[in-house]
Structure 1
Amino acid sequence: MSRHPLLIEASHLLPGGLHSYVLSESCYLQMLQQAGEPPRLLVAMKNEDEGQQRPHAISPIVTLCEIADFNRHGAHEIALTLQGIESVKVTAIDAGEGDVNMAHYTPLPKWQRHTVPDHYLYLSEKLQQYYRSNPTRHEHFQLTQYDDIGWVCLRWLELLPIEVKQKQLLLSQPTALLVAEFIDKLLRYPLIDDD
């Protein structure tokens, strides 16, 4: 079992993805001191319904990340760009030095790589269109994997406004093809609210 600092964020980051978070300089330095070598952090999904960040109430599947980049952001803040490595399951949370949340975790099985099936090619194409029209969301990506259904599904899960519980259920599926089926139905037949 491993242990690393834990961030709880509303902007979700999954394996193979990149995202920037703004932290206070003191928080960043405290986390970095406890992040190991090479430095690794965990990013948990914050449920939008939660008013405050309650570390012991987080969803158990989180993303193990490495630091891809960092820059000063204002007088006492750091813009930290993290790259998702793999999904892991949190087993316990305790306090580290400087009130940094530290999570103990175990690895989860990884999805096998699968070429995007023909009937899901539009998921890859729509994702490429989205990133072309929103270059700041994709500026850090050097190695895109639009031909891998798992990578495509993870990017959609980052982008789609799905409840955290639903995302957790999808991440626990044994294959990305099951997730692609869900995303396909969601995009083809969006739910209509009668209210």
Structure 2
Amino acid sequence: MQSREMALFIQDGVLLPNGRLEFKVVLPDQLALVASVFKGEYGIAFAAQKNSGNLPCYRTITECRIIDFNQLEDDSLSIVLEGVQRLKVLSAAKLRNQMWIARTLVCPNWRHEPIAGEFEIISAALEQFYEVNPDLYELYSQVYLQDASWVSQRWLEVLPMYNCDKLRLVEQPNCHKTMDFVLQLLKSHVGL
């Protein structure tokens, strides 16, 4: 399997395949990263920030693409990233412009699976979450509330959990443990 170099967009959060998040780009290294991506020098990968160890991020990251950008009222740049493919970081280095570049390998994305039975509550709860958070919902042209993988990954992006706990679930071979986790969480909070 061939490795690829990716520029790392490191944030305190998780973006997974088919997910979308909007970010304000203000730091010089972030602007350099966006410029290098638009110039075609590097692909971009979203990485969850890690505060210890040799790397600035966890080893499981997501290749993304910039699907939209806007100049904000304060003249800063806003970009919308869409997750494409899970990757594993083999090594990383910081360039002189403070941008991180990683050598990566492709990891399999979770397969699409239908939601059935008691797990339908997870989909319904995500739909309600988007109604309460329209800024997140508006990022999507289409939602896939009948796909267990899509729904469970969106939950991992928005749940207030430590990145290390989220990534333990992301590194599973499928969405089943995440679905179980979110179902138990919902049951404990609404008394089902």
Q: Identify if the C-alpha distance between structure 1 residues 45 and 98 changes in structure 2 by more than 3 Å, giving closer, same or farther.
A: same
State the partner residue of 1:172. Answer: 171
- For 1:131 and 1:38, locate their aligned partners in 2 and report how far apart those are by CA, in whole Å: 35
C-alpha contact 1:6 1:102 (8 A) present in aligned 2: yes
Query: In the TM superposition, what is the alpha-carbon distance from 1:25 to its structure 2 partner?
Result: 7.3
How far is 1:41 from its partner?
Answer: 1.3
Residue number in structure 1 paired with 2:62: 63
Quick one: distance in 2 between partners of 1:166 and 1:28? 26
In structure 2, what is the Cα distance between the partners aligned to 1:137 and 1:167? 19
Q: Is the 8 A contact 1:8 1:55 kept in 2?
A: no
**Aligned residues of 2:7 and 2:99 also touching (Cα < 8 A):** yes
In structure 1, stretches of 5+ residues that fail to align are 191-195
Structure-2 residue corresponding to 1:185: 184
Query: Is residue 2:43 matched to residue 1:44?
Result: no
C-alpha contact 1:95 1:101 (8 A) present in aligned 2? yes
Matching residue of 1:9: 11
Tell me which residue corresponds to 2:24.
22
* Counterpart in the other structure of 1:34: 36
Q: AA paired with 2:80?
A: T
Secondary structure of 2:24's aligned partner: strand
Q: Give per-residue Cα distances to partners, 1:46-86, cap 9 Å, x unaligned.
A: 25xx4xx9871421111111001111135552111111112
1:186 to partner: Cα distance: 2.2
Residue type of the alignment partner of 2:141: Q
Q: Secondary structure at the match of 2:58?
A: coil
Q: Which runs of 5+ in 2 are unaligned?
A: none
The alpha-carbon distance between structure 1 residues 159 and 75, as it changes in their structure 2 partners (threshold 3 A), is closer
CA RMSD after TM alignment: 2.3
Q: Percent identity?
A: 24
Query: Which residue number in structure 2 is paired with residue 150 of structure 1?
Result: 149
Specify the code of the residue in structure 1 equivalent to 2:11.
E
Q: SS of the counterpart of 1:98?
A: coil
The alpha carbon displacement at 1:32 in A equals 3.3
